Amino acid sequence: MSHILIIEDDPFVAITIEDILREQGASSVSIAASQTEAVDAALVQRPDLITSDVRLADGSGPLAVRAIHEKLGPIPVIFITGTPAECSPRAPEDIILAKPLDHKAMAIAFRQATGQGCE
């Protein structure tokens, strides 16, 4: 149904996000731990949705998303971060979820971002 790009440098958080999104119907997932890996992964397989942390050990999630958008056009984004105030640059329609990640909030955000409603 949908390919998701998870930009997250904490492997435990990345796997948790993957599990939640697969439960919601994601058919495939790529995980990138750095800004460069994220852009490369998106170019290999265009994602239908991007989830991204803000602070990465190597780079910035918002800058990775901006680079992906410049190359591939608009793609829905869910930022999942402990630092929501630093979530810039971003588009007004981007969804921001605060860490620690809430399973139900993530499921709702996935449905909103992919146009599946909020039920």
- Count of structural domains, the chain: 1
The span from the first CA to the last CA of the chain, in angstroms, equals 18
Residue 34 is assigned to a structural domain of this protein: yes
Question: Whole domain around residue 94: which residue ranges?
Answer: 3-113
Residue 118 is assigned to a structural domain of this protein: no
Residue 119 is assigned to a structural domain of this protein: no
63 touches 48 (CB < 8 A): no
Residue 117: what pLDDT? 59
Residue 53 is assigned to a structural domain of this protein: yes
One-letter amino acid identity for 112?
Q
Tens digit of pLDDT for each residue in 98-114?
A: 989 899 999 999 999 88
We report the CATH number of the domain holding residue 58 as: 3.40.50.2300
Query: H or E segment at 94?
Result: none
Note the pTM of the prediction, 2 decimals. 0.91
Tens digit of pLDDT for each residue in 17-67?
A: 999 999 999 999 999 999 999 999 999 999 999 999 999 989 999 999 999
Residue 77 is assigned to a structural domain of this protein: yes
Three-class secondary structure of residue 89 per DSSP: coil
Is the dihedral angle over the CA atoms 105, 88, 77, 56 positive or is it negative?
negative
Residue 25 is assigned to a structural domain of this protein: yes
Q: How far is CA 1 from CA 13, 49, 80, in A?
A: 23, 11, 22
